[in-house]
């Protein structure tokens, strides 16, 4: 059983790794088949670790991360700013890997 | 997170834009009172490229804005107008070549693709005026890289789509569908674009919601062209069947088509035939005695009928009711026009599409449908328009 779980985890990790090349100029899966539900199956990136330092603001409070899709926008996530510094971390979500398995 | 453009929005209305690709580990230092000149990006090629390009654009955009403003107050035939147009085209070409170099240097870059794809085509002043808009519309999508799905996660595609349909396309069903066909042809091999564009057109011009007359024409032509078992990969068979059936029902009664004949029985048991009516115009009125809007519209239409019955007849078809309710309604409202009701619905089905009651169609002398989704107050205008167009 432990072996099975290990193999499963390995397969998921490999699958995620293959679909997300790190280098900016490496082939991005722009033309890959997005499947039956392309909106839920975007070209992913990450893991996400963004730090924004506002040198002239000491803002402390919520920050919404707003994304776009076609002519709509949506709240991708929320984070907080502390004394003018926004940090946002998010683990990579590898939808296709899980679906494939 | 999905690759695309994001806004980090704070409660104090301050916003920072970032462009993210697969590498999403980076730092930004910025003075919010002078974002574009102060920003330092470390670790994000895309965001860095975006802000560098904004800085470049700041060297050109003020002059472009100034020219555009000046052009508004000038005669098109004046020498100054022509000089300014040439200058504007030159500046736009300069910007475009800058963006194209970005793309040539970084062909996989999200930002470079975003920037080049977002550029409007040059206005072809070398063409005769009547062809300029047509050419502009034809060229409108030529810079867009439909192979890049990430662009859908920026505001650029949505902005272009809205402009293409709402500003560059005449707001009548045939023009809208023609523009849609041209666009769908460009992205027929790009599944996500194909899917969202088909659905956007069909929901934007949804019958009953769009203000367009005969939105059913857009819906039915789009559905019958693109909601097929092989093309609508995002839908299951049941949904495709349902949408195609609905589109087929709508397609029998579109503006410009011959009005279908209806033969049904009146309250006296006598057979009535729609196309046997002799008046110059016929209103086909589909109503439900119980519906609130019908209660308001029926007396208005009846008054119109009484005033105009020498050249306008009304063929009133009751739907979703029962015999007693229908007869009672006729009596109560003293409806002296032709009333028919078919409890089996066979004589009406697939002829005049009705989504919401009351529905009103207007047929002219040639028995073509010249108007639908009408209200009584619009009838005279439609009749006058038809007469003046002869």
For residue range B23-75, what is the model confidence (pLDDT) as tens digits? 999 999 999 999 999 999 999 999 999 999 999 999 999 999 999 999 998 98
Residue A28 lies in a domain: no
Residue A89 lies in a domain: yes
Indicate the burial class of B80 (C-beta count within 10 angstroms; 0-12, 13-18, 19 or more): exposed
- The rounded radius of gyration (Å) of the Cα atoms in chain B is 28
CA distance B122 to B191: 28
Residues of B in contact with A43 (CB under 8 A): 2-3, 149-150
Residues of A in contact with B25 (CB under 8 A): 47-50
Cβ contact A92:A47 at 8 Å = yes
CA distance B325 to B296: 17
Residue A26 lies in a domain: no
Residue A32 lies in a domain: no
Spatial neighbors of B209 by CB under 8 A, at least 6 apart, are: B215
CA distance A1 to chain B (A): 32
Indicate the burial class of B276 (C-beta count within 10 angstroms; 0-12, 13-18, 19 or more): exposed
Average pLDDT estimate for B269-283 = 97
Q: Find where tokens 């104090």 sit.
A: B12
Residue A82, pLDDT > 80, answer yes
The one-character DSSP state at B20 is E
According to the model, what pLDDT value does residue A35 have?
Answer: 80
Residues of B in contact with A93 (CB under 8 A): 1
Residue A7 lies in a domain: yes
Spatial neighbors of B243 by CB under 8 A, at least 6 apart, are: B223, B227, B235
According to the model, what pLDDT value does residue B390 have?
Answer: 66
Which pLDDT band holds residue B345 (cuts at 50, 70, 90)? confident
Structure tokens at B15: 């916003």
> What is the domain range of residue A92?
2-21+38-69+77-100
Spatial neighbors of B96 by CB under 8 A, at least 6 apart, are: B116, B119, B122
A36 interfacial to chain B (CB closer than 8 Å): yes
Residue B328, pLDDT > 50, answer yes
**For residue A77, which of A87, A63, A91 has the smallest C-alpha distance?**
A63
Which pLDDT band holds residue A15 (cuts at 50, 70, 90)? very low
**Hey, which residues 192-211 in chain B have their CB within 8 Å of chain A?**
192, 195-196, 200
**Hey, which residues 143-172 in chain B have their CB within 8 Å of chain A?**
147-150, 152-155, 157-159, 161-162
Structure tokens at B335: 């409806």
Q: Find where tokens 């789009």 sit.
A: B222
According to the model, what pLDDT value does residue A32 have?
Answer: 61
Domains of chain B (ranges plus CATH)? 1-166 (no CATH), 169-251 (no CATH), 263-388 (3.40.30.10)
According to the model, what pLDDT value does residue A37 have?
Answer: 84
Residue A95 lies in a domain: yes
Cβ contact B265:B341 at 8 Å = yes
Which pLDDT band holds residue B124 (cuts at 50, 70, 90)? confident
Cis peptide before A47 (omega within 30 of 0): yes
CA distances from residue B63 to B86, B90, B92 in whole angstroms, order as listed: 13, 12, 11
According to the model, what pLDDT value does residue A46 have?
Answer: 85
Between A2 and A93, residue with greater pLDDT: A93
Residue A90 lies in a domain: yes
According to the model, what pLDDT value does residue B190 have?
Answer: 93
Q: Would the CA dihedral through B58, B59, B62, B67 be positive or negative?
A: negative
Residue of A nearest to B26 (CA): A50
Which pLDDT band holds residue A30 (cuts at 50, 70, 90)? low
According to the model, what pLDDT value does residue B115 have?
Answer: 95
Residue A33 lies in a domain: no
Task: Give chain A's domain count.
Answer: 1
The one-character DSSP state at A39 is G
Average pLDDT, chain B: 94
Q: What is the pLDDT of residues B168-183, one digit of tens each?
A: 999 999 999 999 999 9
**For residue B26, which of A53, A57, A95, A7 has the smallest C-alpha distance?**
A53
**Hey, which residues 209-238 in chain B have their CB within 8 Å of chain A?**
233-234
Residue A6, pLDDT > 60, answer no
Cβ contact B345:B264 at 8 Å = no
The one-character DSSP state at B134 is H
Residue B18, pLDDT > 60, answer yes
CA distance B3 to chain A (A): 6
């Amino acid at each position: 059983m432990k072996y099975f779980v290990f193999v499963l985890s390995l397969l998921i990790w490999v699958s995620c790794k293959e679909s997300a090349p790190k280098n900016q100029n490496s082939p991005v899966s722009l033309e890959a088949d997005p499947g039956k539900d392309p909106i839920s199956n975007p070209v992913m990136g990450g893991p996400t670790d963004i730090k924004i330092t506002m040198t002239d603001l000491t803002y402390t409070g919520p920050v919404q991360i707003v994304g776009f899709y076609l002519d709509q926008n949506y709240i991708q996530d929320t984070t907080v700013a502390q004394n003018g510094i926004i940090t946002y971390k998010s683990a990579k979500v590898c939808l296709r890997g899980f679906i494939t398995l | 997170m999905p690759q695309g453009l994001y806004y980090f929005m704070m409660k104090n209305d301050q916003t920072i834009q970032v462009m993210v690709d697969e590498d999403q580990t980076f730092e930004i230092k910025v003075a919010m009172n002078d974002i574009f000149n102060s920003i330092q990006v470390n670790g994000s090629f895309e965001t860095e490229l975006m802000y560098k390009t904004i800085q470049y654009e700041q060297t050109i955009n003020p002059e472009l804005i100034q020219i555009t403003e000046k052009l508004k107050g000038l005669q098109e035939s004046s020498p100054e107008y022509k000089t300014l147009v040439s200058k504007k085209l030159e500046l736009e070409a300069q910007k475009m070549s800058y963006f194209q170099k970005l793309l040539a240097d970084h062909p996989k870059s999200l930002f470079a693709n975003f920037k080049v794809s977002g550029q409007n085509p040059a206005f072809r002043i070398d063409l005769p005026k009547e062809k300029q808009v047509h050419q502009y519309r034809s060229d409108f999508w030529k810079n867009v890289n439909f192979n890049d799905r990430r662009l859908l996660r920026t505001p650029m595609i949505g902005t272009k789509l809205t402009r293409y349909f709402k500003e560059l396309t005449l707001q009548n069903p045939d023009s809208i569908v023609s523009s849609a066909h041209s666009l769908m042809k460009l992205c027929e091999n790009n599944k996500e674009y194909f899917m969202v564009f088909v659905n956007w057109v069909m929901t934007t011009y949804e019958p009953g919601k769009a203000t367009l007359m005969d939105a059913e024409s857009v819906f039915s032509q789009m559905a019958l062209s693109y909601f097929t078992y092989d093309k609508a990969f995002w839908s299951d068979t049941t949904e495709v069947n349902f949408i195609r059936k609905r589109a087929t029902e709508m397609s029998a009664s579109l503006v410009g088509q011959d009005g279908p004949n209806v033969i049904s029985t009146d309250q006296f048991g006598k057979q009535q035939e729609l196309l046997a009516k002799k008046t110059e115009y016929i209103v086909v009125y589909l109503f439900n005695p119980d519906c609130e809007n019908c209660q308001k519209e029926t007396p208005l239409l009846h008054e119109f009928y009484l005033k105009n019955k020498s050249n306008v007849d009304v063929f009133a078809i009751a739907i979703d009711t029962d015999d007693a309710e229908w007869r009672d309604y006729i009596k109560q409202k003293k409806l002296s026009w032709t009333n028919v009701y078919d409890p089996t619905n066979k004589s009406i089905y697939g002829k005049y599409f009705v989504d919401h009651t009351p529905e009103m169609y207007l047929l002219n002398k040639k028995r073509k449908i010249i108007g639908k989704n009408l209200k009584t107050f619009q009838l005279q205008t439609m009749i006058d328009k038809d007469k003046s167009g002869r």
